[in-house]
Amino acid sequence: MSLPPRLGVHVLADVTDVADPSAFEPEFLVAAFRDALHEAGTTVRRTLVEEFTPHGLSVMVVLAESHASLHTWPERRTMLIDAFTCGPVSPLPVVEKFAAKLGPCRVETTQVDRGVAG
């Protein structure tokens, strides 16, 4: 039996120049992030949301496939996403589907294969 070439895929995304200030509203962000995770084919197990004063939000999500996080800096019109999945589900659609819900913005991603065999 051969081992898979990797254990999982990790995607880091910088979402900048978010045009719509209402995209930073906590209720919208949590719902949009969870919806994007679901639409990308992941299974959400637990969600932790932490709001910061005077602004900002962190969302940590445990997935059956691994994890995802979202951190925001409204004053910089920036959100950072970290998504890691094992198995056949790719984390890249999480970023794509979430960014599409934000309206105009700029997205830069880095993808890393994790646990590469050999």
* Residues labelled catalytic: 66, 71, 86
Distance CA 89, CA 10 (A): 11
Encode 34-57: b = buried (16+ Cβ within 10 Å), e = exposed.
bebbeebebeeeeeeeeeeeeebb
Q: Cβ–Cβ contacts within 10 Å for residue 92, how many? A: 15
- Length of the chain, in residues: 118
CA pseudo-torsion sign 22, 26, 28, 34: positive
Encode 66-79: b = buried (16+ Cβ within 10 Å), e = exposed.
bbbebbbbbeebbb
